[in-house]
Structure 1
Amino acid sequence: MERRKTLASIPTKYRILTLLFIILFEGIEIQVKGQNQTWREYLEQLAEEGTDGTTIENMYEELTSLENNPINLNAVTRDELQRFPLLSIDQAWAIADFLEKNRPVYTVYELRNVLALDYATIERILPFFYVGEVGDRKQETLGEIIKNGKNEIQNRFDKTLTQRAGYGCFSDSILARYPNRKYLGEDFYTSLKYSFAYKDKIQFGIVGEKDAGEPFLKTGYPKGYDHYGFHLIVRDRGILKTLALGDYRLSFGQGLVLNNDFMISKSGTSNTVIRNTIKPKRHFSTAENGFFRGAAAAIGIKNIMITAFYSNKYIDATISEEGNITSFKTDGYHRVPLDMEKKNNTREEVTGMNIHYSNNRFQIGINGLYYRYNRMYNPVLHDYNTYYLRDSMNTNGSIDYSYRFYRLVLAGETAISQNGAAATIHAIEWKPATPHIESVSLLYRNYSKAFQASYANAFSESSHIQNEEGLYIGSTLYPFPRTSLTMFIDIARFPWLRYNINKPSSAVDFYAMTSYSFSKNSLFDIRYKIKRKEKNTTYPNNTTTSVLPYMTHKIRLRYTGTFKNGWNMHTTVDVNRYRTKYFPKEYGYILAQNIGYSGDNKISGDFFVGYFHTDTYNTRVYSYERNILNTFYMPSFYGKGIRITLSARYAILRNVILSVKGGVTRYSDRNTLGSGTEQIDGNLRADIYTYFRWKF
């Protein structure tokens, strides 16, 4: 069924758009740069663009921890900068080079002298750094570590106030016939975290969590929380650069063999498409999948770094009558008997190694990964998954490289799976010696339809690193005074069938965001995004299925203002349009206003109200509301209704903080919300969220 197709077969108008995009790189002048997107707004953008929820939660937890424990620019190492999530490899190395030549620095704003950093990145990373004196680098004793370390306890409690069907009363006869109609546990979410950290040298933590509907300290469930996690990280003890015990994450190369750290969305920024090998780091979020459990170590000897790890843990899976795995359950919910049948029913073992050589501007790595399950993985056969892994084990290997010139970075990786299929990715990031072009990125990837790598997570349009060829071009420009413009176009083709697409297909993704700074505290931005993809479609009153293109247009206008008395505001208008060829157009919009106050050291708060109106789920919109401390939550809505939230944070003592938020969503186009066990009889949903943090 395969059809030969090249990137040249993409419709002519999109090839013309690409050429126009390239032409924009020339003849633009700049006088003042201006765009100040916070890192939280940056994560909101990634979430809206479809970045995996586990990835967002991991990023939010890590960035929050870094913000609470900022890094001294006068003591930071090259290795620490390479681990920092919001920097590309070129940016990390450029900062390190700058600091080696200019230490001591006297203000964080000296980062503006680093040529590899664009204005938006600088504004985004400033909260994570400070300037201080360089301390004594001698090895600390255990007593000194315990005395000078920081302890932190976090407790979160959330509850939906409106009744959901899964918490109703059912007779024994009904439950005997339909046991999955009722949740096994209570109607609240709660988590508890304890962490100890000494700088970034020692990190220790324990986490316990239960989702709403999961049993908590009930008879028959003696464990208390549904999920527990533990980690211990030790860094920089001689040649032992990192030791991780318990739960951890890591990434090799560009992610074609292994990446359960996180991957920046292609719409996030134009100059962070290149990744680098990441030493083991802790997994301290409440996400119940996407991490390893066991031990990992990174050893450095001169220019060579060797990272090896082993993971052995139980995971959730759907098992067929023959005893084979048909799919993996990754939502982490264990609320009904069917969930409990899938809980921890499969053992997963993963082991791997990375040997990394670095010499000034050149780096090369060799990566290997082996994993197996205690039963056969054999998903139900369909045409689209013909080339999926069907085995109890698999092996991957790859070679990755990067070379950094003064203003140019080349990087890539080529990988192979046990069946002999290959995948390759190569990228260029260029920072011209002109003030009007901040950066230009070019990335090409080609993933065989038969490439099998379950732990890969690299740059792609689809969720699987398989069956894709694509070309990405992105740039950040400054066309007018006080104005920035970030753009990209990504053209991809899929040589084999995909889920819900019964023939080879293609996709085109175009994004442009321009920001104008009226002043340091006043910003207006406009974002436009258009995506063209294909899917199976059945015409009304017709049983024939055809593959038709569909297009999604998204426009967002937002004004952000910060005032001297501690007040701030965000006004947002989002408009979406969706249309499948030959079918009617669908529209959706949201008008939202957020007003915040942070002028008092003891109390701060936010009020959000948004009115949304969408025709279908295809034109759903997102709420840009502020959340309680140390949590990320960005709900989407479709239909007609209004969303109102009020949040407050109060510092009970200097190191004790309580954060509370209430949210209400009222729909005007329906009398029931949700479905199944989550159904609410009525048109209103009310939630309350609380968070408590104690540092000592």
Structure 2
Amino acid sequence: MEILVEDLFGMQREDQDYDDLYESLLQLFLNPINLNKTNPEELQSIFILSPAQINSFFQHRSHFGRILSLYELQAIPEFDLETIYKILPFVVLDETEGKQGPLLDRIKESKDAYLILRANRVLETRRGYTPPDTLANGRLSSRYLGDPNNLYVRFRIQQSRDFSLGFTMDKDPGEQFTWDPETKRYGFNFFSYHFTVYNQGRWKAISLGDFQMQTGQGLVFGAGFATGKGGETITTVRRSTIGIRPYTSALEFGFFRGVAASYQAGPISITLLASNAPRHGNVQVLSDSLERDEAIITSLQTSGLHRTATEIRYKNQIREKNLGANIHFQNNAKNLQLGFNSLLTQFSQPFVRRPQPYNQFEFHGQENQIHSLYFAYNFQNYFFFGESAVSQSRGQGHIFGMMSSLHPKLSLSLLWRSFDRDFHTFYGNAFSEGTRPINERGIYLGLNFKPNRKYNWAFYYDQFTFPWLRFRTYAPSQGYEWLSRFTYSPSRKILLFAQIREESKGRNISEYPRFQSSYILDQGKRWNYVFNLDYSLSQNWSIKSRVMGSSFDFGGKVTRGFAISQDLNVDYQKWRLSSRLAFFDTDDFDNRQFLYERNVLWLFSIPSLHGQGLRYYILGQYRINPKLEIWARFSRTQYTDRNQIGSGLQLIQGNRITEAVIQMRYKFNR
């Protein structure tokens, strides 16, 4: 799992929501694909197999019949041991898969039923937890109302391709654990729940509670696992149509709450959804010349934090209603897909933004509609795909791409996208350079060359433009990005790779001799270098060594940074221990270093390191018995260039920040 995460999240970005991606990856892990019942679309969704490998798998299954053993994968042309090891966590050969007995009995007897309890906190005291100060006007300064503990509860009962039910509860640091209906707080600050059943006759899926949708290329419904640019340069450019999936994350946005159902009628499936979900935001009341009051939304809050009186006022101030539909066609050969998406979104109050030059084409009003057509076609070793959408503003979004195995040793991917500056999609998650598919044009080229089992070279180049202004970029701009990774793995014990990446992107010049204008841009050029070695010392012991560095050239000034880390991991019977020691030294925030870290199950960690100092952590996992498992983690970042960490209410007086995590998982029916 760690190696796959490194491939997919090969170059971390500060604007990427990795918690949701990691959640989706674990969902794939917990719902493995039955190789004897799968189709090309489903196999592609795990982003591991190339078009040639997928095509070769179905040719093998068509010629020899169902797969009898996972060892049989070694006999399939195009499959190598490295690929097989990667997909094993996500596939099964369960020929007994299916419904046995009443649903209630299957729920009671499910072997995949568990309860997770987790608590974590920063041990140092932040300013937000200190006594308030008295201001000049006699009022007290703002402080967090709750304690610094983060509490998390997760309950889940599921059976792959049969049913899933559960709930997730979360209290963030600084939030009160209180029962206050007036402020819509009921113990835990966030509560998510779902009940989903699959394959009930012609009903492919029926979901109640919280859920997400992924269809087409993510212009309308883009939830789920979609990584974009990274160390895997071929398979991640295309989204798969997986339809309805339960929402189980603790993130407080980006999901529907209501009911959804998918009905199969021959080659056509029809999905309908209805949602009425609370949203956090700033709602203000304006009075017009006739002394009439009107409530408007000035901003949406996606942090999910409700620690102060102001943040509590934002909680659930908005209702967001959604009505959606998807019609999906797949031919009998399962190599052609056509589909239609439609989504109507209505807010409880009109959205009126504070006018700024860069956001004048952003969504405003109370209602948005978006509709799209998409297709996917598999011809031999070629995968063609695309989607075109139009929103109520008449802004358009388009994506067209291709993946191909030009040769058994060489794969290619191409993708072109175009998003108008007034293209509005609230649940889109399409391939893009920005965090949202809006105000962007671009073309992407990916290559992967694997001459033999030991060597692999991955490369991509992405050219993009932003036709209109963006935040901190107050003029049309353009840029490019490329990455090259060379991997050498002489055996299963050794994995070595070297990676280099360059990114060029325009942004405002904040300082200019004798004159200052926010509309003068310069190209900021960033270089990143990574050298990594994974080595299995024995069956139980392994190490990981990494050296990474960066430079940033902007406004005629070049700054640099680097980080060196060493991991030591051990797996012994019921124990699993992971540890790391890392040193870092960067000139500024633009050279911050991102290091993926192992953490407790369902918790994802990519700290951003900048300044000077060291970071270390130790993670322990112990399986007490088949039912009970515990984790404990201690991590600390210690700086040598400062005596304060953070700012505002997050300020820590001192040069170190320490976090402790403890988690328990209890498995029922084991």
TM-score relative to the length of structure 1? 0.88
- Counterpart CA distance in 1 for 2:415 and 2:43 is 21
Cα distance, 1:625 vs. partner?
A: 2.7
Q: For structure 1, which segment, 241-250 or 147-156, has the greater mean C-alpha deviation from structure 2 after superposition?
A: 147-156
SS of the residue aligned with 2:19?
A: helix
Cα offsets for 1:647-685 (capped at 9, x unmatched): 111111122110000011110000011111111101011
SS of the residue aligned with 1:341?
A: helix
Cα offsets for 1:31-52 (capped at 9, x unmatched): xxxxx97223345436x13462
Matching of residue 185 in structure 1 with residue 157 in structure 2: no
Matching of residue 318 in structure 1 with residue 282 in structure 2: yes
- Counterpart CA distance in 1 for 2:371 and 2:15 is 26
SS of the residue aligned with 1:249?
A: strand
Cα offsets for 1:234-288 (capped at 9, x unmatched): 0001110001110111122111122122422122522221223221101111111
Alignment of 1:345-360 (within 5 A): 345-359=317-331, 360=333
- Counterpart CA distance in 2 for 1:87 and 1:301 is 31
Is the Cα–Cα contact under 8 Å of residues 108 and 129 in structure 1 kept in the other structure? no
Match of 1:206 among 167, 170, 173: 167
Partner of 2:88: 126
Is the Cα–Cα contact under 8 Å of residues 61 and 67 in structure 2 kept in the other structure? yes
Cα distance, 1:424 vs. partner?
A: 1.2
SS of the residue aligned with 1:529?
A: strand
Partner of 1:573: 547
Gap regions ≥5 residues in structure 2:
287-294
- Counterpart CA distance in 1 for 2:118 and 2:96 is 36
- Counterpart CA distance in 2 for 1:79 and 1:518 is 30
Matching of residue 560 in structure 1 with residue 525 in structure 2: no
SS of the residue aligned with 2:441?
A: strand
Match of 2:516 among 520, 523, 544: 544
Match of 2:121 among 132, 147, 159: 159
SS of the residue aligned with 1:585?
A: strand
- Counterpart CA distance in 1 for 2:118 and 2:56 is 39
- Counterpart CA distance in 2 for 1:194 and 1:481 is 42
- Counterpart CA distance in 2 for 1:550 and 1:119 is 41
Is the Cα–Cα contact under 8 Å of residues 249 and 291 in structure 1 kept in the other structure? yes
Match of 2:230 among 251, 263, 267: 267
Cα distance, 1:231 vs. partner?
A: 0.4
Cα distance, 1:124 vs. partner?
A: 2.7
Q: Which amino acid aligns with 1:422?
A: Q
Aligned length in residues: 651
TM-score relative to the length of structure 2? 0.92
Cα distance, 1:143 vs. partner?
A: 4.9
SS of the residue aligned with 1:305?
A: strand
Partner of 2:291: none
Partner of 1:374: 348
Partner of 2:289: none
SS of the residue aligned with 2:423?
A: coil
Q: For structure 1, which segment, 200-209 or 217-226, has the greater mean C-alpha deviation from structure 2 after superposition?
A: 217-226
Q: Which amino acid aligns with 1:318?
A: N
Cα distance, 1:125 vs. partner?
A: 2.2
Partner of 1:30: none
SS of the residue aligned with 2:596?
A: coil
Matching of residue 148 in structure 1 with residue 109 in structure 2: yes
Cα distance, 1:303 vs. partner?
A: 0.3
Matching of residue 45 in structure 1 with residue 7 in structure 2: no
Is the Cα–Cα contact under 8 Å of residues 399 and 416 in structure 2 kept in the other structure? yes
Is the Cα–Cα contact under 8 Å of residues 179 and 337 in structure 1 kept in the other structure? no
Alignment of 1:41-440 (within 5 A): 41-42=6-7, 44-45=9-10, 48-50=12-14, 52-53=16-17, 56-68=18-30, 70-74=32-36, 76-78=37-39, 81=42, 84-86=45-47, 95=57, 98-111=60-73, 122-132=84-94, 134-135=95-96, 137=98, 140-150=101-111, 151-170=113-132, 177-180=139-142, 182-217=143-178, 223-272=186-235, 273-322=237-286, 323-359=295-331, 360=333, 361-432=335-406, 434-437=407-410, 439-440=411-412
- Counterpart CA distance in 2 for 1:375 and 1:147 is 44
- Counterpart CA distance in 2 for 1:482 and 1:520 is 10
- Aligned CA RMSD, in angstroms, stands at 2.5
Question: Relative to structure 1, is the Cα distance of residues 268 and 253 closer, same or farther in structure 2, using a 3 angstrom cutoff?
Answer: farther
- Counterpart CA distance in 1 for 2:77 and 2:282 is 51
Q: For structure 1, which segment, 87-96 or 469-478, has the greater mean C-alpha deviation from structure 2 after superposition?
A: 87-96
Question: Relative to structure 1, is the Cα distance of residues 497 and 648 closer, same or farther in structure 2, using a 3 angstrom cutoff?
Answer: same
Q: Which amino acid aligns with 1:548?
A: D
Alignment of 1:593-632 (within 5 A): 593-598=566-571, 600-632=572-604
- Counterpart CA distance in 2 for 1:292 and 1:72 is 28
- Counterpart CA distance in 1 for 2:159 and 2:435 is 37
Match of 1:642 among 592, 598, 614: 614
Q: For structure 1, which segment, 263-272 or 252-261, has the greater mean C-alpha deviation from structure 2 after superposition?
A: 263-272
Is the Cα–Cα contact under 8 Å of residues 399 and 413 in structure 1 kept in the other structure? yes
Is the Cα–Cα contact under 8 Å of residues 135 and 141 in structure 2 kept in the other structure? no
Is the Cα–Cα contact under 8 Å of residues 186 and 212 in structure 1 kept in the other structure? yes
- Counterpart CA distance in 2 for 1:491 and 1:241 is 40
Is the Cα–Cα contact under 8 Å of residues 346 and 375 in structure 1 kept in the other structure? yes
Cα distance, 1:97 vs. partner?
A: 5.6
Cα distance, 1:565 vs. partner?
A: 3.6
Cα distance, 1:502 vs. partner?
A: 2.3
- Counterpart CA distance in 2 for 1:176 and 1:255 is 52
Question: Relative to structure 1, is the Cα distance of residues 275 and 641 closer, same or farther in structure 2, using a 3 angstrom cutoff?
Answer: same
Matching of residue 687 in structure 1 with residue 649 in structure 2: no
SS of the residue aligned with 1:419?
A: coil
Q: Which amino acid aligns with 2:273?
A: F
- Counterpart CA distance in 1 for 2:361 and 2:91 is 47
Cα distance, 1:606 vs. partner?
A: 1.2
Question: Relative to structure 1, is the Cα distance of residues 249 and 467 closer, same or farther in structure 2, using a 3 angstrom cutoff?
Answer: same
Q: Which amino acid aligns with 2:516?
A: T
Q: Which amino acid aligns with 2:35?
A: L
- Counterpart CA distance in 2 for 1:93 and 1:477 is 18
Q: For structure 1, which segment, 195-204 or 289-298, has the greater mean C-alpha deviation from structure 2 after superposition?
A: 195-204
Gap regions ≥5 residues in structure 1:
1-35
- Counterpart CA distance in 1 for 2:41 and 2:405 is 23
Matching of residue 469 in structure 1 with residue 430 in structure 2: no
Matching of residue 592 in structure 1 with residue 554 in structure 2: no
Is the Cα–Cα contact under 8 Å of residues 89 and 274 in structure 1 kept in the other structure? no
- Counterpart CA distance in 1 for 2:146 and 2:552 is 40
Q: Which amino acid aligns with 2:159?
A: Y
Is the Cα–Cα contact under 8 Å of residues 44 and 634 in structure 1 kept in the other structure? no
Cα distance, 1:627 vs. partner?
A: 1.3
SS of the residue aligned with 1:223?
A: strand
Question: Relative to structure 1, is the Cα distance of residues 445 and 122 closer, same or farther in structure 2, using a 3 angstrom cutoff?
Answer: farther
Question: Relative to structure 1, is the Cα distance of residues 523 and 79 closer, same or farther in structure 2, using a 3 angstrom cutoff?
Answer: closer
Percent identity of equivalent pairs:
28
- Counterpart CA distance in 2 for 1:194 and 1:175 is 48
Question: Relative to structure 1, is the Cα distance of residues 475 and 199 closer, same or farther in structure 2, using a 3 angstrom cutoff?
Answer: same
Is the Cα–Cα contact under 8 Å of residues 184 and 215 in structure 1 kept in the other structure? yes
Is the Cα–Cα contact under 8 Å of residues 507 and 533 in structure 1 kept in the other structure? yes
Q: Which amino acid aligns with 1:570?
A: K
Is the Cα–Cα contact under 8 Å of residues 489 and 509 in structure 1 kept in the other structure? yes
Is the Cα–Cα contact under 8 Å of residues 86 and 125 in structure 1 kept in the other structure? no
- Counterpart CA distance in 1 for 2:14 and 2:86 is 21
Cα distance, 1:94 vs. partner?
A: 6.2
Cα distance, 1:694 vs. partner?
A: 0.7
Cα distance, 1:186 vs. partner?
A: 1.0
SS of the residue aligned with 2:20?
A: helix
SS of the residue aligned with 1:618?
A: helix
Cα distance, 1:193 vs. partner?
A: 1.0
Q: Which amino acid aligns with 1:269?
A: E
Question: Relative to structure 1, is the Cα distance of residues 565 and 419 closer, same or farther in structure 2, using a 3 angstrom cutoff?
Answer: closer
